[in-house]
């Protein structure tokens, strides 16, 4: 059995850990509020962008001649996967969930004999993927220095992706991120951004007759690269909200666990103190009796 002193030391150390996790939880909660706000504020932009593109693409009569970003390169051989993770740890299963989703997708591609290329955004994803898929990672981007997700970072990633597409380095691009549902639930998502998936919105009405200036093709070819950045930005916003949410609940758990541990240790401490006192009393009493 540990001595009284040892127990006391352990209690203090667990208590200070609890203080740290509690503080981290508070910080995450404050950041979560902000991240959630900006995720919500960012939504109209990507929604509008999507609407316009849907309107445009339904207006295009000649599917063959449409921009490649929309229709794809006609092949499915080389896949580019952009895995968005956080730069910091201590956020529960946040990164692990994305990686798990990505890895199962990679395994599927492998089985089908497709070629795989990976871009990681955020250092945690890179750390976890480079062990197994190190030779597939062609680019690792990290925005450690920017405090919040901002559009210019997203644009940088978007530009890299588009550049590689134009050089025909890949055929299909998928991004992996966590969608923020609520504080305890984040859903890992795989979203295909090149070629753009327009099939799922068939209810789109064709009654809108737009006038285009300049013509559809030119607008589309201008709009599509922007849409890539917008989608990545959306993913980044969702991700940062998810990260803070995951961290908050992870730290909440940690604080609670620390509390339980303190309780347990305190009971043990009191018991052994009591035992020591009883022992001493017995010694004194038996000493007095023998006199």
Partner 1 sequence: MSNEFKIEIVNPEKSFLSKEDVNEVVVPAFEGEMGILKDHISIISFLKPGIITIQAKSGEEKYYVEDGIIEFKNNTLSILTSYILNLKDIEKNKLLELLKNAEEESSKPEISDQLKYLADQKVETLKSIN
User: What minimum distance in Å lies between the beta carbon of 168 and partner 1?
Assistant: 19
By beta-carbon proximity to partner 1, the closer residue of 49 and 261 is: 49
Closest residue by Cα to residue 178 from 96, 106, 108, 252:
96
Please give the size of the binding site for partner 1, defined by CB under 8 A: 29
CB 204 within 8 A of CB 182: no
Cα 18 from chain centroid (whole Å): 25
By beta-carbon proximity to partner 1, the closer residue of 200 and 213 is: 213
Backbone angles phi, psi at 177, to 5 degrees: -155, 170
Say whether 113 sits in a helix, a strand or coil: coil
User: What minimum distance in Å lies between the beta carbon of 33 and partner 1?
Assistant: 15
Q: How many Å apart are CA 153 and CA 229, to the nearest integer?
A: 9
Q: How many Å apart are CA 206 and CA 55, to the nearest integer?
A: 8
Backbone angles phi, psi at 276, to 5 degrees: -65, -40
* Site membership for partner 1, residue 193 (CB under 8 A): no
Name residues contacting partner 1, limited to 233-252 (CB under 8 A).
Answer: 233
Angle formed by the axes of helices 123-133 and 94-112, nearest 10°: 40
Residues pairing with 137 in the sheet? 118
Residue from the set 87, 127, 139, 155 that interacts with partner 1 by CB under 8 A: 155
Backbone angles phi, psi at 265, to 5 degrees: -65, -35
By beta-carbon proximity to partner 1, the closer residue of 41 and 100 is: 41
By beta-carbon proximity to partner 1, the closer residue of 150 and 257 is: 150
Q: Are strands 115-121 and 137-141 parallel, antiparallel or unpaired?
A: parallel
User: What minimum distance in Å lies between the beta carbon of 159 and partner 1?
Assistant: 13
x-or-dash string of contact with partner 1, 206-225, rule CB under 8 A: --xxxxxxx----x--xx--
Closest residue by Cα to residue 174 from 159, 158, 196, 193:
193
Q: How many Å apart are CA 218 and CA 228, to the nearest integer?
A: 16
Tracing tokens 């023998």 back to the chain, one arrives at: 290
Residue from the set 4, 27, 29, 49 that interacts with partner 1 by CB under 8 A: 49
Residue from the set 17, 55, 192, 272 that interacts with partner 1 by CB under 8 A: 55
- 91 a catalytic residue: yes
User: What minimum distance in Å lies between the beta carbon of 28 and partner 1?
Assistant: 21
CB 32 within 8 A of CB 241: yes
Widest Cα–Cα separation across the chain = 113
Say whether 201 sits in a helix, a strand or coil: coil
Task: Considering the candidates 91, 149, 223, 235, report the single residue annotated as catalytic.
Answer: 91
User: What minimum distance in Å lies between the beta carbon of 10 and partner 1?
Assistant: 47
30 token code pair: 């404050």
Residue from the set 56, 80, 82, 250 that interacts with partner 1 by CB under 8 A: 56
By beta-carbon proximity to partner 1, the closer residue of 155 and 268 is: 155
By beta-carbon proximity to partner 1, the closer residue of 223 and 265 is: 223
* Binding span for partner 1 by CB under 8 A among 40-48, 66-74, 241-249, 274-282: 40-48
* Site residues (vs partner 1, CB under 8 A): 38, 41-42, 44-46, 48-49, 51-52, 55-56, 150-151, 154-155, 208-214, 219, 222-223, 226, 230, 233
Q: Could you list the active site residues?
A: 91
């Amino acid at each position: 059995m540990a001595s009284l002193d040892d127990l006391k030391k352990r209690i203090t150390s667990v208590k200070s850990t609890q203080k740290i996790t509690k503080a981290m939880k508070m910080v995450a909660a404050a950041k979560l509020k902000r991240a959630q706000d900006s995720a919500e504020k960012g939504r109209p932009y990507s929604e509008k962008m999507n609407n316009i593109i849907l309107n445009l693409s339904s207006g295009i009569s000649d599917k063959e001649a449409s921009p490649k970003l929309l229709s794809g390169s006609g092949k499915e051989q080389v896949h580019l996967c952009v895995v968005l993770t956080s730069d910091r740890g201590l956020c529960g299963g946040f990164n692990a969930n994305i990686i798990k989703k990505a890895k199962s997708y990679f395994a599927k591609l492998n089985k089908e004999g497709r070629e795989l290329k990976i871009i990681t955004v955020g250092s945690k994803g890179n750390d976890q993927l480079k062990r197994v898929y190190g030779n597939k990672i062609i680019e690792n981007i990290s925005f450690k220095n920017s405090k919040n997700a901002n559009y210019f970072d997203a644009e940088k990633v978007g530009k890299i992706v588009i550049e590689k597409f134009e050089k025909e380095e890949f055929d299909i691009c998928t991004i992996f991120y966590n969608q923020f549902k609520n504080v305890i639930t984040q859903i890992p998502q795989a979203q295909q951004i090149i070629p753009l998936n327009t099939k799922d919105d068939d209810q789109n009405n064709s009654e809108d007759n737009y006038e285009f200036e300049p013509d559809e093709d030119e607008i589309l070819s201008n709009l599509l690269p922007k849409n890539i950045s917008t989608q990545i930005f959306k993913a980044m916003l969702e991700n940062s909200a998810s990260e803070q949410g995951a961290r908050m609940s992870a730290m909440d758990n940690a604080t609670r666990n620390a509390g339980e541990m303190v309780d347990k240790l305190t009971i043990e401490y009191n018991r052994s103190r009591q035992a020591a006192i009883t022992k001493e009393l017995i010694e004194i009493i038996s000493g007095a009796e023998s006199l």
